[in-house]
Amino acid sequence: MAGKSKTRSPLNLPNLTEIQQRDPGAPSPAQAYLNTLSPSGRRSQHTALNNLVYILSGGAMSDALAFPWELLRYEHTSGLAAYMVDIGYAKSSVNKHLVALRRVLAESYQLGLYADHNDYYRAAGVKSLRSETLPRGRTLKMEELRALINSCLADGKNPTLGVRDAAVIMVLYAAAVRRQEIVDLNLADLDLKEGKLRILGKGSKKRQVYLQVDAVGALQNWLELRGKQLGPLFTRVTKSGRVMLKRLTPQAVYYLLKHRQTQAGLDDFTPHDLRRTSITDLLSAQVDVLTVSAIAGHASADTTKRYDRRSEENKKAAAQKLPSPFAEPPSPLENPNREDEKPS
């Protein structure tokens, strides 16, 4: 007799008869939460909230802005993480969704939508899952970084574009900035005399970073072509080499790097790998982790440590030091008995 298939019981969902579209004029906890995020974080977490609404409403809704989050109680959220794993979400993705859930419930509480504060604390008490993930991305070697810069400066078809791209790459590496952060930079954020940048990071948090001499020089070269008009620091350049005071997009930075990577003949890397490389190189230079964390704009030094790839390089080097018991057999051409051998 075949055994019964093991299936997980569905979530104890809110009473669907109580779920109604939120009055457009009423305060939206989801919107209040999303307003605290950067544009890129806003898009990502809005999608996560929509996913949660679909799950929590049993498929009846998918709009986070219209969902009545204040109806959620402990019995609705306590099994959410395990349920999401069961239906195919990775633990890291589940934790990202739980962050969004806790934040939007906190906004519901702050807006006075929970009549009983105990209902909020119990519902928001859901804990993240413990997970160990393999490091993502890669770090670039110094010769790869130089090859990228050289590919920009050797651009004979559009020298202005090459100067701009070289400055973008230098700042991405030297300041360990994110794509969104570099396109958000304005000329007013740059202090060439002090060699520093004012960066608007995640959650609208501002920080100052200082640049190495070569990065300042790359920016000076770009500003000679860009001019001193107020506006975005990095702007578009036409095919004819004319500078336009229009802000780059994060996608434009991605294509910029992809183009220069192809020109330089390098293996694939992402824009975030330049940030990862910068953090690893700073730690390798014995800069303390708290200072590196401040430069990178991380809320926690633990986040900075996850960017450190020195351990991966050490493991790779250690593997080559291990003696091998494998003795390479002679090639078929060197075997004098090859013709006499018969299959057993």
Q: Name the residue ranges covered by the structural domains of the chain.
A: 29-123, 142-309
Phi, psi of 104 (to 5 degrees): -75, -30
**Active site (annotated) includes residue 198:** no
**Active site (annotated) includes residue 259:** no
> Of the listed 226, 275, 276, 309, which one is catalytic?
275
pLDDT of residue 218: 93
**Active site (annotated) includes residue 97:** no
> Of the listed 33, 114, 173, 307, which one is catalytic?
307
In order along its 344 residues, the chain shows pLDDT tens digits of 333 333 344 555 555 445 555 566 678 899 999 998 877 778 889 999 999 998 888 888 889 998 889 888 998 898 899 888 888 888 888 989 999 999 999 999 999 999 899 999 999 998 888 765 555 678 889 999 999 999 999 999 999 999 999 999 999 998 989 888 999 999 999 999 888 899 988 777 888 888 988 999 999 999 999 999 999 999 999 999 999 999 999 999 999 999 999 999 999 898 889 988 988 888 888 888 888 888 888 877 777 776 666 666 665 666 666 666 766 655 655 555 545 545 44
**Active site (annotated) includes residue 275:** yes
**Active site (annotated) includes residue 307:** yes
Please state the CATH superfamily assignment of the domain spanning residues 142-309 in this structure. Intergrase catalytic core (1.10.443.10)
pLDDT of residue 133: 57
Name residues whose C-beta falls within 8 Å of residue 344's C-beta, 6 or more positions apart in sequence. none
pLDDT of residue 310: 64
> Of the listed 178, 226, 260, 309, which one is catalytic?
178
**Active site (annotated) includes residue 202:** yes
> Of the listed 91, 247, 272, 305, which one is catalytic?
272
Residue located via tokens 């007799």: 1
> Of the listed 298, 306, 316, 338, which one is catalytic?
298
Please count the other Cβ atoms lying within 10 Å of the Cβ belonging to residue 165: 27
pLDDT of residue 312: 63
Q: From CA 116, how far away is CA 133, in angstroms rounded?
A: 38
> Of the listed 42, 202, 258, 306, which one is catalytic?
202
pLDDT of residue 253: 93
Distances (CA, A) of 127 to 60, 87, 97, 130: 26, 19, 11, 9
List the one residue out of 80, 88, 93, 97 whose CA is nearest residue 131. Answer: 93
